[in-house]
Amino acid sequence: MAFMMHCNKLSFIPKKNVAKITFIDYKTYFCSCMSQMYNVINLPSVDSTNNYAKGLLKTSRPAEFTVISTDYQTGGRGQGINRWYSENERSLTFSMIFYPGFLSPDRQYSLSQCVAAGICDFLNFYCVNARIKWPNDIIVADRKIAGILIENSIGKDLLTWSVAGIGLNVNQTMFPEDLSQAVSMRMHTGQGYKVNELLPQLIEAIICRYRILNEKPEIISRDFHSLLYRLNQQVVFSFSGYRLQGVIQGVDNSGRLLLKTAEGIVIPVIHGEGEWIPA
């Protein structure tokens, strides 16, 4: 059975030191969000909240910011063949529906930047110093705390809809052996959290960033880069069958990671063609 809530009172008020956007700007955008309603459809369990959201989009047009959340996801997915591990009622697992008609297909990675920045805003509010690891992971102290999977429907010149799947580790205290690099909010801070109270706060942080993306996309790009994991540091990638070593210069408008080699050549790495090699 699915349960739906209609929410329009924002409860997430960010601290002054969230990313680089000024607190005055945040107050402006949060005031504009106060009248924004969003629906939450809660499912006790589901194979994938992204799949459920896409099923809704096939037969209807749910309101923007409709959220599908679940207590337990049985077939969570990450990028490519990666999977997302969720523990019953110990993590936040949900998908949000967007209609980003203001974004052209070549700017679709901006939505990932926006969602990632919103997650970092939320985590930093709870004193969890988070960074964005290209292309779509959220990292705390070199360990993964959250992941994002965005799927888009592309029209002729714009995105017709997008589904952003988000998984955030909250109260887990251990993970399977093959996920030894994962971490949760509880493991990092030593505190337990009420998962159902965190969900609206995280949704609101993302909605705020989405509004900024629509009106001032340069702020999203700026703050994304201020949060980019290993920016201006040397990393090693497995790229097209060989090891590529370089310094991260940033991410371009198409979502390609820019690596500068020792020879001074900047090489764009496309997601799926290059993989991080642990330091």
How would you classify residue 49: left for phi > 0, otherwise alpha for psi between -120 and 50, otherwise beta?
Answer: alpha
Confidence at residue 17, expressed as pLDDT on a 0 to 100 scale: 47
Q: In the block, which residue shows the tokens 């994938």? A: 48
Confidence at residue 16, expressed as pLDDT on a 0 to 100 scale: 46
Confidence at residue 179, expressed as pLDDT on a 0 to 100 scale: 78
Query: How many C-beta atoms surround the C-beta of residue 195 within 10 A?
Result: 18
Please give the chain's pLDDT, 279 residues, in tens.
Answer: 454 555 544 455 555 445 554 444 555 555 555 556 799 999 999 999 999 999 999 999 999 999 999 998 887 655 444 555 566 778 999 999 999 999 999 999 999 999 999 999 999 999 899 999 999 999 999 999 999 999 999 988 899 999 999 999 999 998 887 777 899 999 999 999 999 999 999 999 999 999 999 999 999 999 999 999 999 999 999 877 789 899 999 999 999 999 999 999 999 999 888 788 876
**Structural domains in the chain plus CATH codes:** 3-226 (3.30.930.10), 234-276 (2.30.30.100)
Long-range contacts (CB closer than 8 Å, 24 or more residues apart) made by 177-185? 179/85, 181/142, 181/143, 181/144, 182/85, 182/143, 182/144, 182/145, 183/140, 183/141, 183/143, 183/144, 183/145, 184/90, 184/91, 184/145, 185/123, 185/126, 185/128, 185/145
Six-digit token string for 172: 């887990």
Rg (CA), the chain: 18
Confidence at residue 21, expressed as pLDDT on a 0 to 100 scale: 46
Q: Parallel, antiparallel, or unpaired: how do β-strands 159-169 and 91-98 relate?
A: antiparallel
